[in-house]
Amino acid sequence: MTYAEILSNNQLLKDQLIGTEKYPIIVLSNIIVSQQKEILEHSLRKHKINAEVSFGDYDNIVQDSTYLLTGQQAVIIFWEAANFIEGFSYKASIMSEEQIIEVQKKIQSEILAVFNQLKNVPVVLFNTFSALPFSSESLQKNKLEIICDELNYFIETNAPTNVISVNIDKLYSRVSLSNAIDWRYWYSSKSLYTIDFFKEYTEFVLPVFLSLAGKSKKALFVDCDNTLWKGIIGEDGMGGILMSSSVKGGAVFEEIQANIVELARKGVIVGLASKNNAEDVDEVINNHPDILLKNENIVIKAVNWLDKPDNIRWMVKELNIGTDSCVFLDDSDFEVGYVKENVPELSVYQVPQKTYLYPSLVRNIKSLFYNWSVSAEDAKRVEMYKAEKQRTIEQSTFISIDEYLDSLELKLILYNNDATYISRLAQMTQKTNQFNLTTKRYTETEINKHMQNGDSVIAFELKDKFGDYGITGMCIITYAGNEAVIDTFLMSCRVIGRNVEKAFFDEIIKLINKKGNITFLRANYLRTMKNEQVSQFYDKLGLSLDKTTPSGNSYYLIPQEYLFNNIKYIQIEYGK
């Protein structure tokens, strides 16, 4: 199905599911993965799970894991190592060992913070770090690969039981690297993956969601001749059928039986659906020297000469489970077609003609039975040894969001009426949609005019210990007598989530108060399609609501009475 078809089908499925309980999923990422939304929604909605996928802010994984998660059923984390800091994919190779360690420490404490903050979300899908798109095909590992390996080990040993790590390298191997990556958008938009990748990703993680929704497959019905063993018991007899790696042609069937036994031990209901004399099949199960699948693994048998669809319906009824939670496996074209036709809700698979492909088919079928609680059980075993580690971790590296922000060593540099940045400022008014209170678009000439006629055009630059975000926010204040008006207040999405806007606003008020004659400040929120996220901004800062209209709100403030936020972890500096 093409992406466009998925988009329109998704809309149809959404309408069909109106009234059913919503299943909110949030994606946190430090790259752009916007196409994941509809592809995942579509796949889950096809299974009657009314998924609503939303996104955190770009590159705000740690902050969003504290703020955005009420009611979320699942969190998916796309944390791209190449973008740990801007240009990390190539900078890692020329950074000093100390700098690398610093970055790694930062990421590790961020991972722990995220784990801790997400501990009440039912399930977290955490993609493993991969350097594959950014490494050469050389035998030698590059720095990024080494860092990814170490961090993946860190995740493996520290992840709580609600975290499932999703092996991205396995996905690359399924899609192929060249089909998974679209470099065109990496440098311009920090978007990395193709539609093919997102489709495959969705298939890959689907079993988790099906399991959580109680929609995993529960029963496997298998034919016997040429399905469990090679040959036909009624014709070839006990000595003629093959199911052991020690005989030519038998190895594949030994592997198949081992896989089915494994499923049975995990609680999957295994049934036989075979056209045969019941005694012949029993004889094989009970007495064949090579048989792996024993009676103890088999819950139900329909071995007779009746129609297979009838036998399957009978087993479904006996077991009292849904037909759609059953899987049927047979070698015959006729039976497969006949059963598909008559029991359409059943998942039907046919033994491949090329028997060497049969084991990989069965390995894939196994994922249909994926059961989250089994994995949780497995994880419990690891839990004990983790508990010991936990103490040290919590003492040494656990951080709150404030501590985290503190550790970033944020520095806000303000430029008041500095003509150097005019073109950047004009560009920001043109391009910023989300964190923009009034969305006024200005040309360079207009910005310049504001600077010349006594208004305050204040820009900020943000830095932290890992680098410089550049000029990423601005404010324009106009004056008339004793009154000041905030004409423009905007900030780039890249710096959201660090409370920079509060620190910036504090400084603006200080600047106004320094003027000496301003006793009244007006500010407006003008609603657009895209700036909902700042609709409460002035309320939160303690400004008084003056008027509410459909187009937005107006506010006022006596600047001398303003309560400063005093964000202690943001250091303020003034540029020349």
Partner 1 sequence: MENRIKKVIGSVFGIDPATITENDSPDSIPNWDSLRHMNLIVALEEEFEIEFTEDEIMDMLNYKILYTIIKEKTGL
List of residues contacting partner 1 (CB under 8 A): 2-5, 7-8, 11, 32, 34-35, 182, 184-185, 188-189, 191, 194-195, 433, 529-530
Instruction: Please check whether residue 460 is in contact with residue 574, taking contact to mean a CB–CB distance below 8 angstroms.
Output: no
Q: Least distance in Å: CB of 556 to partner 1?
A: 31
Closer CB to partner 1, 3 or 314, in the complex = 3
Sign (positive or negative) of CA dihedral 61, 63, 68, 74: positive
Closest to partner 1 by CB, 194 vs 524, is: 194
User: Which residue stretches of 436-572 are H helix?
Assistant: 444-452, 500-515, 537-540
* 568, burial (CB in 10 Å: exposed 0-12, middle 13-18, buried 19+): exposed
Contacts of 430 (CB under 8 A, 6+ apart): 441, 442
CA–CA separation, 441 and 452 (whole Å): 18
Q: Which is nearer to partner 1, 154 or 185 (CB)?
A: 185
Strand-by-strand arrangement of the 552-557 sheet: 544-549, 552-557, 520-526, 483-491, 467-480, 456-464, 410-416, 570-574
Sign (positive or negative) of CA dihedral 26, 32, 38, 43: negative
Closest approach of Cβ 532 to partner 1, in Å? Answer: 13
Closer residue to partner 1, CB minimum distance, 34 or 571: 34
Q: Compute the least distance from the CB of residue 394 to partner 1, in Å.
A: 38
* CB nearer partner 1, residue 317 or residue 530: 530
CA distance 393 to 109: 9
Q: Which is nearer to partner 1, 178 or 400 (CB)?
A: 178
Nearer to partner 1 among residue 2 and residue 566 (C-beta): 2
Q: Which is nearer to partner 1, 189 or 245 (CB)?
A: 189
Cα–Cα nearest to 525, from 539, 504, 505 = 539
Q: Which is nearer to partner 1, 380 or 440 (CB)?
A: 440
Q: Are 148 and 154 in contact (CB under 8 A)?
A: no
Nearest-approach distance from CB 107 to partner 1, in angstroms: 26
Of 530 and 547, CB closest to partner 1: 530
173/189 with CB nearer partner 1: 189
Least distance from partner 1 to the Cβ atom of residue 4, Å: 4
Give the list of residues 6+ apart from residue 462 with CB closer than 8 angstroms, or none: 410, 411, 412, 413, 468, 469, 470, 472, 473, 495, 498, 500
Taking the complex as a whole, how short is the minimal distance between the CB of residue 26 and partner 1, in angstroms?
16
- Considering the complex, state which of residue 11 and residue 244 has its C-beta at the smaller distance from partner 1: 11
Task: Report the nearest approach of partner 1 to the CB of residue 550 (Å).
Answer: 16
Residue with tokens 């894939």: 364
Q: Count CB atoms within 10 A of the CB of residue 173.
A: 12
Residue 424: half-sphere exposure toward Cβ, Cα within 13 Å: 19
CB-CB contact of 61 with 34 (8 Å): no
Identify the CA nearest to 123 among candidates 92, 65, 159, 164. 164
Least separation in angstroms between residue 235's CB and partner 1 is 50
CB of 126 to partner 1, least distance (A): 24
Query: Pairing state of beta strands 74-78 and 123-127?
Result: parallel
Amino acid 304 reads N
Cα(437)–Cα(541) distance, rounded to whole angstroms? 13
**Tokens in use for 488?**
């423009």
Answer whether 519's CB lies under 8 Å from 425's CB: no
